[in-house]
Amino acid sequence: MAKLSALDSQDFPLSQELSQLEALAEKICAQIRVDHKKGLCALRECLCQGYVLLFPVLRKLAQDEKEGVRRALVQAVGEAADPADPFRASFLLEILSPLLFDPVPRIRLAARRVLRERLLAVYPGETVEVLVQWAAEPDPARRILAAQLLGHAPPKLARQALIALKHLARTGEGKIRPALLAALRRLARKNPQIVGPELLRWQADPALASFVQKALNGQKLPQS
């Protein structure tokens, strides 16, 4: 059975016994406080080797009272992203999710940067799918974040992002509008041949016409 070699004194086997898993989490937290680099290495090993078994305790670490633990978890998620293991994507996204709304600004911003720059790049399909789900959730903060990040969707997923952004635009919520406008402009710069014709179709909808005008901001986009 795999061992976590990053922990010095006593390696814990990746076991389904809850007590052992909780002991492992406590040991990693203690290690982070003593030696951040070594603790981070242990966290990364957990995410790479045993994310299925360790998911419950890793998810609990996202709520740990120690900022250093949560900060290390954000960094470990980014470092654990690996295109060779697509099954890891959903676990990393779930673990990172609460950290995107962490009460500490620097942790929250770091988590969003990891999602935007690492997970979206390494697991584009899985990440955009999650963002589309968030766009349909009742929580306004989650919908705003989804709108912001969908603007960073890669070209091959621009159409999927536009479907979710159109849904959000139809809600008419003022708080979401700035994020939507920024996302559409970003997508339009990267994918004018896709976004241009789509926005022209939106413009034919009276409920979206004024919003599209603001999104275009005088910019001329290809019609086909």
Contacts of 72 (CB under 8 A, 6+ apart): 32, 36, 39, 40, 43
Single pTM value for the model: 0.82
* Buried/exposed code over 43-61 (b: 16+ C-beta within 10 A; e: otherwise): bbbbbbebbebbbebbbeb
Beta carbons of 143 and 135 less than 8 angstroms apart: yes
Weakly modelled stretches of the chain, pLDDT under 70: 1-19, 172, 217-224
Asked whether the CA dihedral 213, 217, 223, 224 is positive or negative, the reply is: negative
Q: What is the pLDDT of residues 25-74, one digit of tens each?
A: 778 888 888 888 888 888 888 888 877 777 888 888 888 888 988 999 99
Strands (E) in 30-125, as ranges, are: none
Please tell me whether residue 104 adopts helix, strand or coil conformation.
coil
